[in-house]
Structure 1
Amino acid sequence: MTLDNILAISKKPGLYKLINPSRGGYIVESFLDQKRTFVKADKNLSLLSDISIYTLEGEISLADVFDKIYNNEKGKETSTSPNASKDDLEEYLFSILPNFDEDRVYPSDIKKLLSWYNLLLSSGVYGTASKDDTPKDEEE
């Protein structure tokens, strides 16, 4: 599975796997409870593969940030809770991504990042999602 099939739905908790587009919307399956539901096409859906984190030099893809967290945590859940204080969240992200733009990346974004990473890891998706996607360091 790739991050191309994983959605975040505005105003809904957790992440969803895209099962099938259908007339007028999408059939999705929740990673939290494995229930399938229909989501209308007018909902605000975001593919994880389209999400980036702002850095001082530009942007970095969510998959690359997940790789950095995975390597830093040695394949385990994040050492900082998604419900930690604002300062703890920013300190954690600085340890993973020292050049993130703290003026444009809010604590709520970091909470989502950590929650999503932990959810993908616990559901067994992360290990296969990131390793298949991108060849690293081709330009260097």
Structure 2
Amino acid sequence: MEYRKLIAISGMSGLYELVGSKTDGAIVRSLEDNTTKFVSSRKHQFSHIESIEIFTIRENVNLVDVFKAMDKSSEVIPSEKDPKAIKDYFKKVYPEMDFDRVYASDMKKMVRWYGIIKQNDIPFELPDDAEATEASNEG
């Protein structure tokens, strides 16, 4: 499975793999319980997580950059039920984050999504990253 196929769906928790699309929605597979279902685009919005950006004190960064920082960190990932611990965690792991504009609920999602991605052994790579890795492996 590839990072670029992962989507978040408004009104539904967790992450999903985009299996197929139709004119009125998408067929998705949950990364938590592997169930496949049709989700209507009339009721829900779909966001590819590769296109999600996070506010920082400088320029916005892609969510994958935050996940990579989480992956490299030796800090213990806090429970998603403890907003203060989550904020303290991100202050250590990604101090450039703009904590006035990134809400506690967003940080909670990042912790949850990171766990789901790690559980499914999906590499944190955007398409450009994958192409660069392939090119260096060929050389």
Alignment correspondent of 1:55 = 56
Alignment correspondent of 2:78 = 80
| 3-state secondary structure, aligned to 2:39 | strand
Q: Note closer, same or farther for the CA distance 1:95–1:133 as it changes in structure 2 (3 Å cut).
A: farther
Runs of 4+ aligned structure 1 residues displaced above 4 Å come to none
Alignment correspondent of 1:31 = 31
Tell me the matched-pair count.
130
What's the CA shift for 1:23? 3.3
Partner Cα distance (1:71, 1:4) in 2: 21
Say whether the 8 Å CA contact 1:6–1:48 is kept in structure 2.
yes
Alignment correspondent of 2:102 = 105
Say whether the 8 Å CA contact 1:2–1:132 is kept in structure 2.
no
Say whether the 8 Å CA contact 2:3–2:126 is kept in structure 1.
no
What's the CA shift for 1:45? 1.0
Runs of 5+ consecutive residues of structure 1 not aligned to the other structure: 136-140
The superposition leaves residues 23-74 of structure 1 with CA deviations (integer Å, 9 ceiling, x where unpaired) of 3211100011101110112321111001111001021111111111001149
Runs of 5+ consecutive residues of structure 2 not aligned to the other structure: 133-139
What's the CA shift for 1:132? 6.3
Partner Cα distance (1:4, 1:50) in 2: 9
With the length of structure 2 as denominator, give the TM-score of the two structures.
0.84
Query: Counterpart amino acid of 2:90?
Result: L
What's the CA shift for 1:90? 1.1
What's the CA shift for 1:133? 4.6
Of all paired residues, the percent bearing the same amino acid is 29
| 3-state secondary structure, aligned to 1:130 | coil
Query: Counterpart amino acid of 1:123?
Result: N
Alignment correspondent of 1:4 = 4
Say whether the 8 Å CA contact 2:4–2:127 is kept in structure 1.
no
Query: Counterpart amino acid of 1:79?
Result: I
With the length of structure 1 as denominator, give the TM-score of the two structures.
0.84
Match of 2:125 among 121, 130, 138: 130
Say whether the 8 Å CA contact 1:24–1:41 is kept in structure 2.
yes
Q: Confirm whether residue 41 of structure 1 aligns to residue 41 of structure 2.
A: yes
| 3-state secondary structure, aligned to 2:125 | helix
Say whether the 8 Å CA contact 1:16–1:30 is kept in structure 2.
yes
Alignment correspondent of 1:18 = 18
